[in-house]
Amino acid sequence: MWQYRELIKNLTIAEFKNRYQNTALGFLWSLLSPLLLAGVLYFFFRHLFGQEQNFAINLLVGLMAFRFFATGTTSSLQAIVGKPSLVTKVYIPRQILVLSNVLANLISSLLEFVVLLPLIFILLGHLPLTVLLFPLIHFLYFWLVFGAGLLLSALYVYFRDLNQIWEVLVNIL
């Protein structure tokens, strides 16, 4: 895989750019989306339900982690089938296609985390020490999403209904 690092980088950048293509704000949506979600969660849980601020923050962190899993695995489903010219005309390891999809989702997830840090500081007045565990946890979580994406993309080659089944399963989670 190391000898394909340049291809992985180019595919990841292309996938990330493609996600926000034809949108007015482009990749700024990856920054704006967690801000809007944080605002909605804070309003509902703080003002309507009277919960403490920590609950909204914990829920937001969980939703961001879930979003990384959901978008990473869902986009990986069609990573191999969705790029027939790369699969049939050029020899590359198929896992590179899945890896580039998951890496593009990782970039979005890390941008969300960058937005989340100041929000946590503003709402709590400090950053908890558990924030220091984020890189390790996200690194391990990345491998979980990548592994699930590899499995799903391999199964999708043979079972095209898996896309609809996976969407239902992700919504159940």
Q: Tens of pLDDT along 112-166?
A: 888 888 888 887 888 888 888 988 999 999 999 999 999 999 999 999 999 999 9
Domain edges within the chain? 26-172
> Closest Cα partner for 64 from 16, 120, 6?
120
CA–CA dist 79, 95 (Å, integer) = 9
Residue 20: per-residue pLDDT? 76
Average pLDDT, the chain: 87
pLDDT of residue 39: 79
The answer on pLDDT for 37 being more than 90 is no
**Rounded to an integer, what distance in angstroms lies between the CA atom of residue 29 and that of residue 40?**
16
pLDDT score, position 100:
95
Distance of alpha carbon 52 from its chain centroid, rounded?
A: 27
Cα–Cα nearest to 91, from 7, 17, 154, 160: 7
Contact 101, 79 (CB under 8 A): yes
pLDDT tens, residue by residue, 51-68: 666 777 888 888 889 999
Enter the tokens of residue 160.
């095209």
Distance CA 42, CA 63 (A): 14
pTM attached to this predicted model: 0.86
Task: Quote the pLDDT of residue 161.
Answer: 92
pLDDT at 40 (0 to 100) = 83
Q: Answer whether residue 111 shows pLDDT above 70.
A: yes
- The maximal CA–CA distance of the chain, rounded, in angstroms, is 59
Residue 12 pLDDT level (bands cut at 50, 70, 90): very high
Decide which of 28 and 50 is more confident: 28
